[in-house]
Amino acid sequence: MQILPVLVIAFISISAVIALSIGLRSSSEKKKSAESKSVVKDRETIIKDANRRLASNPKDLVALEALADLYYQEGEYKKAMRTYQLILDQAGSSPEVNDGRLNLRYGLSAMKCEAWSEAYKGLVIARSRNPEGIEVNVNLGKLEFMRKNYEKTVGFFKRVLRIQPDHADSLKFLGQSLYRLNRFSEAVPYLKQAVVARPEDKESLYALARCQYEIPQLDMAQKIFRHLRTDPKWGPNAALYSGTIFAKKREWDEAITDYQIGLRHENVTGELQLELKYRLAEAFNQNQRIDRALALLNEIYETTPEYKDVAVQIKRYRELNSNKNLQIYLLAPTNEFIALCRKLTQMMFPRAKIKVNDMNVQKTEYVDLITEVKTHKWEDIVLFRFMRTEGQVGELFVRDLYAHSKELHAGRGFCFTAGNFTGEAVRFVEARLIDLIDKPALMKILKSIDSGSLTGLP
């Protein structure tokens, strides 16, 4: 029996809350309706008053300015621009007219109408009246940015940031202008702030990564590039740069993945598509997947035969594809390359007993083998240098080899390359016990070696 009064009280409370809510909502809606009617009334009043004044005086500056401001506020920029121009043409140097404000509004209206020359003219005059004005400096900076006058852009936006250090547009356009001027280190702090202010600004994020790539801060740049790889607009370029960073590190599998992501974008065409295919071909080549590399180069050649050195690369890859030992010499991991080098030393002295006393591996550039060679008639220290290059080997490398052989008291030295030697290098060794083995001579030896015999070579 005690439950009934509680239920009655609860019902009354809920009804009161509902009534109050309905009343507040109704009051709010009435207020909004009143405000809307007030705006309409004000607009009608402005137009009515302006028309009345213009009927008696078609050059009434107050009436024209009221109409121009109304058009501007409503986004009727063509009408606003024409009306502001009419005022400015009639006003001359009248002290009653704030020509700085009028020119600013005229310039901004012209920008909205993409009338760039008129916009520039109006904003320049407005700035002469108020050099520190944020709005006029920002918009003049944007115009100069569009005209690719980046030095002027920098000046406008630096002025704004002195007044308002966190102005988002200024941070963005200043950073991007410095980036386009190749002033990468200067651009980075502004672009970082721009991205913090507007995380959705992918253009500034990409520009930041490009600046970090050039400084170089490759790890930081790559994090951003990898984040942008799937972006419809910035993804292809981001994938290209991310892949390039992996290529610099010789991480070919990762580079291949990035280049392929770039090529999967629907908007990849022209030069960017060609470059992605070209670099992907080189990554496949470095990964000893020559068939894939050749297929990509042939695709490039069919559409753009003059692109870079694609014809030369096709010839090179075909040669690599036909000679497993040449692939090992140029592309294989260091342990496989060294096994081939040991075999080459035996080919130079087929009946001798050869012992490798020491070796010196210079990353991917070359390997030195210090050997002890014994035959029935003589024994000596022989230094072998195997250059992993297809380019020219100059006198400097040969001199270094000769100096190293003297330090070791070697009786003879050999220098192998998959490229060729300069004339200076050849002349240097003429009176010295250094033999130069260029690509044609190397190829003859490589063709005589069974690549299967390299397995398990000590």
- Determine the pLDDT at residue 15: 54
Which DSSP symbol is given to 231? -
- Determine the pLDDT at residue 62: 87
- Determine the pLDDT at residue 18: 52
3-class state of residue 394 by DSSP: coil
- Determine the pLDDT at residue 70: 93
CB 179 within 8 A of CB 187: yes
- Determine the pLDDT at residue 341: 95
Burial of 24: CB neighbours in 10 Å, binned 0-12, 13-18, 19+: exposed
The tokens describing 393, both together, are 């080997």
Alpha carbons 329 and 422: distance in angstroms, whole number: 21
Cα 296 to the center of its chain, rounded Å: 23
Residue ranges in the chain whose pLDDT is less than 50: 1-2, 4, 6-8, 16-17, 19-20, 24, 30-39, 456-458
CB 137 within 8 A of CB 159: yes
- Determine the pLDDT at residue 24: 46
Alpha carbons 142 and 435: distance in angstroms, whole number: 65
- Determine the pLDDT at residue 73: 94
The tokens describing 198, both together, are 């507007």
- Determine the pLDDT at residue 90: 84
- Determine the pLDDT at residue 265: 96
3-class state of residue 95 by DSSP: coil
Alpha carbons 107 and 113: distance in angstroms, whole number: 10
Note the pLDDT tens digit of each residue in 322-346: 899 999 999 888 999 999 999 999 9
- Determine the pLDDT at residue 13: 54
Note the pLDDT tens digit of each residue in 201-226: 999 999 999 999 999 999 999 999 99
